[in-house]
Amino acid sequence: MRFFLPLGIAALTFTLTLATPAVACSVTADYRAPTNLELAADAELILLGRVVDEAAGVKPWHTSLRVAPVLAVKGTMPDSAVWITGVGLLHPGERRSVTLSNPYELAEPHPESLSGACIRRAFPAGTTALFFLERAPDGEGWRPSGRPFSRWAEDVLVEDAPWLRLTRFYAEVAAAPEGERTALLEAERARLAALAEDPVAQLMAADIARQIEGPNPTGHEVMRREIEDE
């Protein structure tokens, strides 16, 4: 299997002014973004898929993205293209350039998640991404399962990408009995950390260590740490 891209917290309120989609997001100072392990545990379907096109809705934020399935990391592999509501294509001429996920960034979400809508909502046609999904309320299609500032949709350009490898592992850990999860995380972190000459293994080990530490800090906690560090 090979898939390559065919292209050469405090109390915050954001307003997205770009064309797709016109959605604003607000979070409070006690909001806690999900960890990568929580993201994997919460998703009904984790799908590696290629972005095909979109269908416009009555309102800009009703746009749906059509994705061709490549691999189901969690859940049942769809037998045809899936539609993801509330997201769409990145169109030429919009006031933002194509920004692909950094393949070696495993903690922070796609840069668009840190702007208006708080999650990534626009994708270049043809990219392959790893989507964390849940069923839409009406039972028709899917929607992002990740909450604000989560890595719910990151570009994955090669089959051995560290994010894809980690997600597979986190899905396995999330499916294990709760009492066994910490031991699984610690064993894999130690295995990767022992590969001292492999920088990607070190990055993956560091992300697993973050899952062992537990929930992400709230905006209040981040601000307090920043004040203490001054």
Domain segments of the chain: what residues? 12-229
Q: Per-residue pLDDT tens for 3-24?
A: 333 333 332 333 333 333 345 5
User: What confidence score (pLDDT) does residue 18 get?
Assistant: 32
- Exposure b/e, 168-180, CB count within 10 A at least 16 = b: bbbbebbeeeeee
CA–CA–CA angle 83, 86, 89 (5° rounding) = 75
Asked whether residue 108 carries a pLDDT value surpassing 70, the answer given is: yes
User: What confidence score (pLDDT) does residue 12 get?
Assistant: 33
Q: In whole angstroms, how far apart are CA 39 and each of 4, 63, 112, 132, 144?
A: 25, 23, 18, 7, 11
Element (H, E) at 163: helix 162-175
Instruction: Give 12-229's CATH code, choosing from 3.10.129.10, 2.40.160.20, 2.40.50.120, 2.60.40.420.
Output: 2.40.50.120
Phi then psi dihedrals of residue 114, to 5 deg: -100, 15
Q: Is the pTM of this model over 0.75?
A: yes
User: What confidence score (pLDDT) does residue 62 get?
Assistant: 78
**Which residues, other chains included, contact 211 with Cβ-Cβ below 8 Å and sequence gap of 6+?**
35, 36, 37, 170, 185
Q: Quick one: the chain helix, strand, coil %, rounded to 5?
A: 30, 25, 45
